[in-house]
Structure formats: C-alpha cells, structure tokens
Amino acid sequence: MAILIIAEHNNLSLKSETHKVVQAAAAIGGDITLLVAGFNCKAAADEAATVAGVSKVLLADNAVYQHQLAENIAALVTEVGKDFSHILAPATTSGKNFLPRVAAMLDVAQISDVIAIESADTFVRPIYAGNAIATVQSSDRIKVLTVRPAAFRAASDGNSAPIEAVSAAHDAGVSAFIDEELTKSERPELSAARVVISGGRGMQNGENFALLNGIADKLGAAIGASRAAVDAGFVPNDMQVGQTGKIVAPDLYIAVGISGAIQHLAGMKDSKVIVAINKDAEAPIFQIADYGLVADLFSVLPELEQQL
Amino acid sequence: MKILVPVKRVIDYNVKVRVKADQTGVDLANVKMALNPFCEIAVEEAVRLKEAGNASEVVVVSIGTTAVQEQLRTALALGADRALHIETDQHLDSLQVAKLLAKVVAQEQPGLVILGKQAIDSDNNQTGQMLAALTGMGQGTFASKVQLADGKVLVTREIDGGLQTVALTLPAVVSTDLRLNEPRYASLPNIMKAKKKPLDVIAADSFGVTLSSNVTVLKVAAPASRQGGIKVESVAELVDKLKHEAKVI
Ligand SMILES: Cc1cc2nc3c(=O)[nH]c(=O)nc-3n(C[C@H](O)[C@H](O)[C@H](O)COP(=O)(O)OP(=O)(O)OC[C@H]3O[C@@H](n4cnc5c(N)ncnc54)[C@H](O)[C@@H]3O)c2cc1C
C-alpha cells in the first residue's frame, strides 16, 4: 500500500489537520508520502518532514499553487498520485474543494468525511447529518478519501523524512485568485481547540458575543456559533459549527443560547463533555448535554466568567 | 446565457431519519421529501441572475425515478424555465451523477452551472467539483456571492479561515453555500404556471454512461446515542462538576 496525503498548510506552517490525516493513514497501513503544494512553502514542508510515520515529503513549490486553486492542485495531485493506492486529504474546505476533482480525473469515487478506517478498502462515514453511519467498501484501483480531522488523534512529531522537489507546474488557466478576507483571531482554531464555547440566536446580537470572550480567555477556548447566529450577522461564517460548518470534537463544548437543531448537533455531538445553557428547559440541546443549566444566559455568563 | 441547475430530491431537512432494522439503509417509506436546501438556493440564484438580465434561460435537471418530477416542478414554480428529468431507478453515486450531468452540459451548452454544495442525505459534497473536472471548467465552490462581469464569474467562497474570492472563466461551475441567498416561496399562480412549463424525460441509459459504482454500502447503522446528562442548579454547581467530575477544566 502506498498512501499519498495532501498536506494542509498556509505556505508558512503546517495545519494540525494534516497530523490527523497521517494518523488515519497509519490505520490503513503502508508507506506514507506527504505532498506539500504551495508557493514559498519550504517551511511547511520542513514541518511536514517531522510528522511521525511519514516516509517522504514531496514539495511542489510554485506560484500556481499559492492559493490552493482547485483546478491547479487537482491537476498536480492527479499526476503525482496516479500510482498510489490511496489519496487522502483532510475534510476541510480546501480538501473538499480539490479532492473530488482529483477523483473524477482519475475516474474513481471519492469517499467523503471518513471517521474510521475498517481496513484498506473499507471505511466508515456519517450520512444524513450524522444521524446514520455508513460502512462502505471500495473496489476502485485508487481509494480517494477526505478524512474528518475531528475523528482522529494527531500523529506525533519527531521524524525527519527526506524532502523531494516536484517540478510540475500545472496552471489550468480557468481560475484566478482575487482576494481573501481571513478572520484574525488570537484564539485557538475551532477545529483544534480543546474547549469550544458557542453562541446561538439567544445571544441576540454581535456585541453580546463579547460575553463569551472572558470565558474563552480563561479556558483557552475557541468561540463558535450556530448557523442562526451567523445568518443573523452576529459573527462571521467561519465560526459556524454544524453539518455545513465546522465539525468539532473538543474535550468540552459549551452551547449558549443554542436550541440544538440536528444540523448543529452534527457538528459537535462527538465532543467529550457537552454543557448547555438555555432558558428553555425543553430545548433539544439538553437531550445530549452532560450538564444542562436552565437559565438566562445574560445573568449566568458573567457569573461563569467570574467563577472560573 | 443559459444557466443549468442540477437539483436533487432528498428527505426534508426537518425529518428525523431512522435507520432500518436490517441496517441496509435509512427508512424513507412515507417520509416527507423535498428539494435539497442547497439546490433550492441554486435555483434562486439562477433565477435572480435571469431577473437581473444576466441570463436568458434557467434549465433545471434532476436524475432519478419519476418522483423527482415533483422537485423539478418546485424549481419551475420558483422561476426556472424548463426541466429535464434523467430517468433511472438505479441508485447513483456522485461520479455517475457528474458523468450524466457532463453529457447534459455537452448538449445544453450552458454558460454557467449552479448547483448545491452538498445533498443533505449523502452529505458528499462532490458532484459540482466532479462535473467541473469532467468538463474542464473552473469551479467556485461554497459560494456566498456570485457576480458576472466581462465573460467571467466572480465567486466569493466560504472557507475555513473566512472568505476567498476567485474569478472563473465562463463556462464555470458554482456550488452554493447557505448564505448565498434566501430562496423565495413559490406563489400559487407560479405553482399553477409551473405545471405547464416544459419537462422532458430522457432515459439515463441513453447517454452511454456506466451507471454502476465501485463503492458498496456494507451497512448503515444508527450512531452511538449520547446519554442525556443532568441538570445543574447553579453556575457554582456547573463549575464544580466540570472541575471534579468531568475533569475538563
Ligand atoms: C441545509 C441546512 C444546513 C444547516 N446547517 C447548519 C449548521 O451547520 N449549523 C447550525 O448551527 N445550523 C445549521 N442549520 C440551521 C438549523 O436547522 C437551526 O436553524 C439552527 O441551528 C438554529 O440556531 P440556534 O439554535 O442558534 O437558534 P434557535 O433555534 O432560534 O435557538 C435559540 C435558542 O436560544 C435560547 N435562548 C434565547 N434567549 C435566551 C437567553 N436569554 N438565555 C438562554 N437561552 C436563550 C432559546 O431558548 C433557543 O433554544 C442548517 C439548516 C439547514 C436547512
């Protein structure tokens, strides 16, 4: 078995999702190659070389890969990956963007959002917003998978795998990067945080999200939101947790003023401990919360911050 | 310019799904079905582009049994002009769907394809990207804004870190995210009008595409259910439990 993993990075450093995918690949078993495609991304490749279990890092350092445009990355991965038995990427917005394109170019299926590896050809994935769990087997010559990072532990560091340059420069010529508005935050990333505190429609407006800040600071938490809170413009889209937002599985998830719609639960119900704060004792979120506090969030949030 | 909008019939998003006792799938008998929410947003976006004078025709297409005609009529009631039903009883995976859609693209020659980023049943998030690959088009996935200008489409995409805007040469494929627009409700007169709009039926096997997939579903199980916990009476009790019982803070 030869497994190719497309590393997630921002040209400067490797993202922790990559470590999780390496862990999934280790469960498949076989030789693991990491592909770092980007521009001026040598530092990310150096980091990739330290991930335990990786036998080689391929570095495709070219301006055409700078912004991870799906058309260019997919052409590269299709070429580099054609002799591998498995091609994996994290189920992030980047992996979800280019990997189905790779699968189609290789004329094989993609198995999305894998949460467990049963064997080299059998994988487990959630469907229906996580309300059903499918076990699927693929007889395709190359198995193309996106891996849900929240479902795997991170591979450790301490390796020093060789780095090999890949010169292929693929520019499909049909797409161009215009600009990017990245949310700046000093807090840990949602998908990597040990504690997540999320606010919903019950927060009433964006200013009130400040009530979560002090608590997040004390707990080293990331701040998330329900779709209702994002749609209402309280907070930006990258904070959305759920079926169509980010999938998180922290040690502690605190849902504040969130009712617990299935689409929201799909993004957080694998958290180790769930706390719900909601003034409605009948809110569905309480059915899955380990600790529920029926209370007005505006009175208990300041109290919670103070008592931590 | 013509816009092609592929749509899918799925379980209504409010329905709580149940896994069949024999673990072969999800029980869909007598369950309310609907247009996939992301597809509805795709139809709305296409209709808005037409209303703004940026498109001449909106064609919707769906693949499946005769039942999908219900969702095609819904799309027609929302403002699409014409529908194509690619008929098959077979369950298809994304790659096969994308291959059929690529044939439709070759026939219809749309200037833009807009479709939902994922169907809420299979949750695959693949078809648009695969269609773009098979037709050699650029792709603007997870769109929260779509603008046409100078033979290009500018797509603002929802990405993990925030927003990214790309420019794609037309024809291109755009997949919709939830915040792209808020779909209208079909008015009664429009529902009546939709009944008279053209809907052509084409057999899926007439396209010369292999419809079988190399992926087999071995079983579909219910997720591990989570036990509801306890209610605490105060913030002090909550903090105490988190520290000493759950030991997470
Ligand atoms: C295709 C599709 C995909 C979706 N994807 C997602 C997704 O990824 N993520 C997601 O979150 N949603 C998603 N949704 C939306 C989902 O169905 C719900 O509408 C949404 O999660 C509701 O958000 P909410 O709980 O914040 O709001 P509401 O359901 O309105 O709940 C607000 C809660 O706040 C409580 N509250 C109000 N005031 C206070 C107060 N002062 N103190 C304490 N509690 C208070 C209320 O009792 C209520 O329970 C999706 C929907 C669709 C159709």
Tens digit of each residue's pLDDT (9 = 90 or more) over A204-242: 999 999 999 999 999 999 999 999 999 999 999 999 999
Mutate to test the interface with A, among B10, B20, B22, B129 (most CBs of A within 10 A): B129
∠ at Cα B216 (B210, B221), nearest 5°? 145
A138, A219, A292: residue with CB nearest B229: A292
Distance CA B224, CA A153 (A): 19
Q: How far apart are the first and last CA of chain A?
A: 49
Distance CA A153, CA A133 (A): 20
Atom of ligand 1 nearest to the CA of A201: 26
Which domain does B6 fall in, by range?
2-244
Neighbours of A234 (CB within 10 A): 21
| B64 located within any domain | yes
Q: Where in chain A are all domains bearing CATH 3.40.50.620?
A: 2-165
Model confidence band, residue A185 (pLDDT cutoffs 50, 70, 90): confident
B73 min Cα distance to partner chain A (Å): 24
The residue ranges of DSSP E strands in B49-132, in sequence order, are 57-64, 82-87, 112-116
Which of these, A178, A61, A170, lies nearest to B163 by C-alpha position? Answer: A178
CATH of A2-165, one of 3.40.50.620, 3.40.50.720, 3.40.980.10, 3.40.50.300: 3.40.50.620
B65: DSSP letter = S
Asked if residues A231 and A262 have their Cβ atoms less than 8 Å apart, the reply is no
Which residue has the least CA distance to atom 41 on ligand 1? Answer: A296
Mean pLDDT of B73-92: 98
Q: How far apart are the first and last CA of chain B?
A: 58
Return the sign of the alpha-carbon dihedral for residues A20, A21, A25, A31: negative
Tens digit of each residue's pLDDT (9 = 90 or more) over A68-117: 999 999 999 999 999 999 999 999 999 999 999 999 999 999 999 999 99
For chain B, the domain total comes to: 1
Distance CA A208, CA B107 (A): 53
Chain B residues with CB under 8 Å of A103 CB are 95, 126, 130
CATH of A195-307, one of 1.20.1240.10, 3.40.190.10, 3.40.50.300, 3.40.50.1220: 3.40.50.1220
Mean pLDDT of B76-82: 98
Q: Are strands B82-87 and B57-64 parallel, antiparallel or unpaired?
A: parallel
Mean pLDDT of A25-37: 98
Chain B residues with CB under 8 Å of A136 CB are 215-218
Contact between A179 and B221 using a beta-carbon 8 Å cutoff: no
What is the distance in A from the centroid of ligand 1 to the CA of B63? 32
Q: What are phi and psi of B167, to 5 degrees?
A: -110, 130
Q: Is A75 in the pocket of ligand 1 (CB under 6 A)?
A: no
A9: DSSP letter = B
Mean pLDDT of A132-142: 98
Q: Is A297 in the pocket of ligand 1 (CB under 6 A)?
A: yes
At A184 the pLDDT is 86
At B225 the pLDDT is 84
Asked if residues A227 and B178 have their Cβ atoms less than 8 Å apart, the reply is yes
Asked if residues B189 and B79 have their Cβ atoms less than 8 Å apart, the reply is no
Which residue has the least CA distance to atom 6 on ligand 1? Answer: A263
What is the distance in A from the centroid of ligand 1 to the CA of A30? 43
| B249 located within any domain | no
Asked if residues A307 and A289 have their Cβ atoms less than 8 Å apart, the reply is no
Across chain A, what does the average pLDDT equal? 97
A231-A237-A242-A248 Cα dihedral, nearest 10 degrees: -150
Residue B105 tokens, joined: 């693209």
Chain B residues 94-113 with a CB less than 8 Å from chain A: 94-95, 98
ipTM: 0.96
What is the distance in A from the centroid of ligand 1 to the CA of B184? 21
B168 min Cα distance to partner chain A (Å): 4
Which residue has the least CA distance to atom 36 on ligand 1? Answer: A202
| B198 located within any domain | yes
Chain B residues with CB under 8 Å of A243 CB are 120, 123
Asked if residues A180 and B164 have their Cβ atoms less than 8 Å apart, the reply is yes
Which of these, A253, A79, A248, A96, lies nearest to A169 by C-alpha position? Answer: A79
Tokens 């997949």, residue located: B175
| B50 located within any domain | yes
Q: Name B152's bridge partners.
A: B149, B169
At A183 the pLDDT is 87
- Over 90: is that where the pLDDT of A191 sits? no
Query: DSSP characters for A42-68?
Result: HHHHHHHTTSTT--EEEEEE-GGGTT-
Chain B residues with CB under 8 Å of A287 CB are 228
Mean pLDDT of B62-69: 98
Contact between A138 and B177 using a beta-carbon 8 Å cutoff: no
Distance CA B180, CA B42 (A): 9
Tens digit of each residue's pLDDT (9 = 90 or more) over B141-200: 999 999 999 899 999 999 999 999 999 999 999 999 999 999 999 999 999 999 999 999
Distance CA A86, CA A110 (A): 11
Task: Please give the single-letter amino acid code of residue A124.
Answer: V
| B216 located within any domain | yes
| B218 located within any domain | yes
Asked if residues A166 and A60 have their Cβ atoms less than 8 Å apart, the reply is yes
| B115 located within any domain | yes
Which of these, A4, A39, A29, lies nearest to A18 by C-alpha position? Answer: A4
∠ at Cα A16 (A11, A22), nearest 5°? 105
- Over 90: is that where the pLDDT of B227 sits? no
- Over 90: is that where the pLDDT of A62 sits? yes
Mean pLDDT of A194-205: 98
> How much of chain A, in percent, has pLDDT values that exceed 70?
100
Asked if residues A34 and A7 have their Cβ atoms less than 8 Å apart, the reply is yes
What is the distance in A from the centroid of ligand 1 to the CA of A267? 12
CATH of the domain at B160: 3.40.50.620
Tens digit of each residue's pLDDT (9 = 90 or more) over B136-146: 999 999 999 99
Which of these, A89, A195, A202, A201, lies nearest to A147 by C-alpha position? Answer: A89
Mean pLDDT of B104-119: 98
Across chain B, what does the average pLDDT equal? 97
- Over 90: is that where the pLDDT of B226 sits? no
- Over 90: is that where the pLDDT of A302 sits? yes
Mutate to test the interface with A, among B8, B26, B160 (most CBs of A within 10 A): B160
Mean pLDDT of B17-39: 96
Q: How many CB pairs under 8 A join A and B?
A: 254
B71 min Cα distance to partner chain A (Å): 19
Whole-Å CA distances, A302 to A185, A297, A305 = 22, 9, 5
Tokens 């804004």, residue located: B145
Mean pLDDT of B28-51: 97
- Over 90: is that where the pLDDT of A56 sits? yes
Chain B residues 165-194 with a CB less than 8 Å from chain A: 165-169, 172, 177-179
Model confidence band, residue B86 (pLDDT cutoffs 50, 70, 90): very high
Helix (H, G, I), strand (E, B) or coil at A6: strand
Q: What are phi and psi of B59, to 5 degrees?
A: -110, 125
Mean pLDDT of A8-36: 97
Length of chain B: 249
Q: B15 at the A interface (CB within 8 A)?
A: no
Distance CA B77, CA B197 (A): 9
At A192 the pLDDT is 86
